[in-house]
Amino acid sequence: MNPLISNRLRKSNLRKVKTDAADAYLLAELYYKEEFEPFKKRGVQLLNLRYLTRLYEALSKMCVQTKLQFQAVLDQVFPAYKGVFGAMYSNISLQFLNEFPTSNSVLQTDEDTLKAKMKELLSSKRGRSEDWIHLRVQRLLDAAKENPFQRTMYASHLVNLKVLISLILQYQEYLAGLEQNIDALAGEIEEYDLIQSIPGIGHKIAATILSEIGEVDRFDHPKKLVAFAGIDPSVFASGKFTATRNRITKRGSRQLRYALVLAVQCGLIRSRNTRIKEFYDRKRAEGKPHKVALVACANKLVHWLYAILKNKKMFRPSQ
């Protein structure tokens, strides 16, 4: 039974009563007054996939928060380090910063030692030439000389920096392992490849969409799937007044709603999805704001997904 319905019935009483007996009576009363559709049990495979994708999302958010704290500490210790490596959060970059967290530690080490340490950290990787290592070491020395904080006043900053580096490395390792498990589990599902036939939907987005929708047989109409994603417009009218600017309901699965909007944005980049780009441009030409046009595109995308999952046929970009 939908908890929104039962909660609304409980709040309809004048007296505020919350006991197990009162709740059981309200549920029984609701059952005999309303008509409900039979519950359709979900498959274990898709539920496992949903758990993994939601865990991946939760760990990603924690990793982002840790990176923000890391940047705040790095700005007070070694702000010039950001330009040394192309990807500051790569394993080699974080491990090297863990060994040489201050300008003083870099400048007190000779160039050959820095190169040897970088080669040691790169021992498990291939494709890094001597020129690449030499360029990074030169960048590191230049950054150490330009750094306004040659010596760190607070030793606690260094302790905090090392802890945050360790956490980021662990998060990245866990996320990489989770991503492999998600791909392996989703690869066993036929609809996983069918969904990815839509331009703009990659592995992560496809896994999230598939796990959140579940068995498409639970929805006998695409509009019900739209409502489940929470991207259907709300309706408000009272007397002679009818609202003309209505927000979306945002009911149902928040993860599915976010994945749909992200898929639309990816499809709009460089016009990867020509059909969604044409629909977006048409809505914008009608005077719709950017976010309203995005939601309209997400609504259109849900109808395509429903047809793909129902008919088990790939998406046709030309139609």
Q: Which residue type does 192 have?
A: Y
DSSP assignment letter at 37: P
Query: Within a 10 A sphere around the Cβ of 267, how many other Cβ atoms?
Result: 22
Q: How far apart are CA 281 and CA 7, in angstroms?
A: 41
Residues 64-81: what's their mean pLDDT? 94
pLDDT of residue 35: 65
Q: What angle do CA 191, 194, 200 make, to 5 degrees?
A: 125
Lowest mean pLDDT among 1-15, 183-197, 218-232: 1-15
Q: How far apart are CA 14 and CA 11, in angstroms?
A: 8
Nearest to 230 by CA among 210, 205, 254: 254
pLDDT higher for 36 or 131?
131
Per-residue 3-state assignment (H helix, E strand, C coil) for 192-236: HHHHCCCCCCCHHHHHHHHHHHCCHHHCCCHHHHHHHHCCCECCC
CB distance 133 to 122 below 8 Å: yes
Q: How far apart are CA 46 and CA 43, in angstroms?
A: 6
What phi and psi values does residue 237 have, to the nearest 5 degrees? -150, 140
Instruction: Provide the pLDDT confidence category of residue 306 given band limits of 50, 70 and 90.
Output: very high
Q: What is the pLDDT of residues 169-204, one digit of tens each?
A: 999 999 999 999 999 999 999 999 999 999 999 999
Q: Given CA atoms 141, 146, 151, 152 in this order, what sign does their dihedral have?
A: negative
Q: What is the pLDDT of residues 86-99, one digit of tens each?
A: 889 999 999 999 99
pLDDT of residue 159: 94
Residue 270, token pair as written in the block: 């460089």
Domain positions in the chain are: 47-183, 189-318
For 42, the 3-state DSSP assignment is coil
pLDDT of residue 126: 61
Q: How far apart are CA 219 and CA 175, in angstroms?
A: 32
Q: How far apart are CA 315 and CA 94, in angstroms?
A: 42
Angle separating helix axes 222-229 and 290-311, nearest 10 degrees = 130
Helices (H) and strands (E) in the chain, counts: 14, 2
Q: How far apart are CA 272 and CA 282, in angstroms?
A: 17
Burial class (CB in 10 A: 0-12, 13-18, 19+), 149: middle
Residue with tokens 């928040």: 254
> Beta partners for 165?
none
Fold for domain 47-183? Helix Hairpins (1.10.287)
pLDDT of residue 2: 76
CB distance 195 to 209 below 8 Å: yes
What are the distances in angstroms from CA 303 to CA 124, 296, 314? 47, 11, 14
Residues 63-84: what's their mean pLDDT? 93
